[in-house]
Amino acid sequence: MNILITGSNGFIGKNLSSQIKQFNNYKISTFTRLDSKNSLDNKIKDSDLIIHLAGENRPKDPIDFNTSNVLLTQDICSAIDKADKKIPILFLSSEHAETYSLNLRIAIIIFMVRARERQKFI
């Protein structure tokens, strides 16, 4: 099984990747803010599961929260559409995100709307 972990440089992402790598039947791909959108598309195409941990939880500029959380979520949904396959997504968010709860709700709504429209999310 191929697992894509977004936010893999964060505390949870690093530890989760480390733990999963102990099992031989899982291949881990990672996505960080340094990776390109094109690489995201390719990694999603090869994935059987996405663990979406990426997001900004203490931005210096509030616009960074939108870019890292909402726009990345939209990019993930679009890449799944392009891949034309059903890929389960485990979506986690930080408690610090509640300061920006409207943007967090938008990210969650994006997942829900896309799931209904395309029936591609489990």
Q: Which residues are catalytic?
A: 100
Residue 44 Ramachandran class (φ > 0 left, ψ -120 to 50 alpha, else beta): alpha
Given a contact cutoff of 8 angstroms between Cβ atoms, the answer to whether 106 and 70 are in contact is yes
Which residue shows structure tokens 């690093």?
A: 14
Q: Helix (H) and strand (E) counts for the chain?
A: 5, 4
Single out the residue of 39, 52, 76 nearest to residue 3, CA to CA.
52
> 77: closest CA among 32, 40, 34, 104?
40
